[in-house]
Amino acid sequence: MHTTHDLRAQFDASTITGYQAYSPAIADAALEAQRFVAPFSFERMTWVKPSFLWMMERCGWATKAGQERVLAISMRRPYFDGLVARAVPTHFEPDVDGTPEAWSARRDAASALVQWDPERDLRGNKLGTRTIQLGIGRALSRAYASEWIARIDDVTPLVKAVARLRRAGEWDAAAQKLPTERPYVTAAPGASSP
């Protein structure tokens, strides 16, 4: 099966939505401040996932320890586009990355990483496309946590509602509740790098 890379997301003219899952303490503080504040860690890479269903696979539908709350992060598009432009792949691709040594040096020095993971369907099955997740490193985490974010929403109630419908086998009803994600094209590389 041929696998494609597909950047799909929920977005409007000024923002694009990514998802992150956290403990209640981190989520509550972020929601109140409408940015990331302590106890959020600025000392580690944080990963943003535009695919709702991939995030659900990753956090176990908000059941994994430390991932009980799912936040929708509305990020200003110029910052997201700049992040995509500067991100270095986490895996070596010979046709794109040159030599393994050059790629490894770029990856180790990168302030942002990109990883393409198998997209999931509502039942959790892997699809033939890969979806993006972006790692934001320590050098960018404070800017991400404050300047890049337009809004933070708690979508945990939605996550729990869809999970209940899945357990009941009500697939059509569950599908109707999903966020609408469509193909997203970033601005020209480097146009608005943060």
Mean pLDDT calculated for residue range 65-85: 96
pLDDT for the residue numbered 110? 73
3-state SS, one letter per residue, for 69-132: EEEEEEEEHHHHHHHHHHCEECCCCHHHHCCHHHHHHHHHHCCEEEEEEEEECCCCCEEEEEEE
Query: Is the pLDDT reported for residue 99 higher than 90?
Result: no
Tens of pLDDT along 102-124? 666 666 667 888 899 999 999 99
Going from N- to C-terminal start, the domains of the chain cover: 4-178
**What local confidence, expressed as pLDDT, does residue 188 receive?**
46
> Model pTM?
0.90
Sort strands 182-183 and 8-9 into parallel, antiparallel or unpaired: antiparallel
| Cα 187 from Cα 76, distance rounded (Å) | 12
Mean pLDDT value of segment 70-86: 95
How confident is the model at residue 1, as a pLDDT? 37
More confidently predicted of 94 and 150: 150
Which residues are CB-contacts of 68 (< 8 A; sequence separation ≥ 6)? 21, 22, 23, 24, 62, 156
pLDDT of 48 over the 90 cut: yes
Which two tokens mark 132? Answer: 């993006």
Return the H-helix or E-strand segment holding 64. Answer: none
Tokens standing for 162?
């869809």
3-class SS letters over 173-188: HHHHHCCCCEECCCCC
Structure tokens at 83: 């992040």
**Can you read off the two tokens belonging to residue 42?**
């600025």
Q: Give CA–CA dist 132/49, Å, rounded.
A: 7
Distance CA 169, CA 126 (A): 19
> Please, what is the average pLDDT of the chain?
89
Taking residues 64-79, report their average pLDDT. Answer: 97
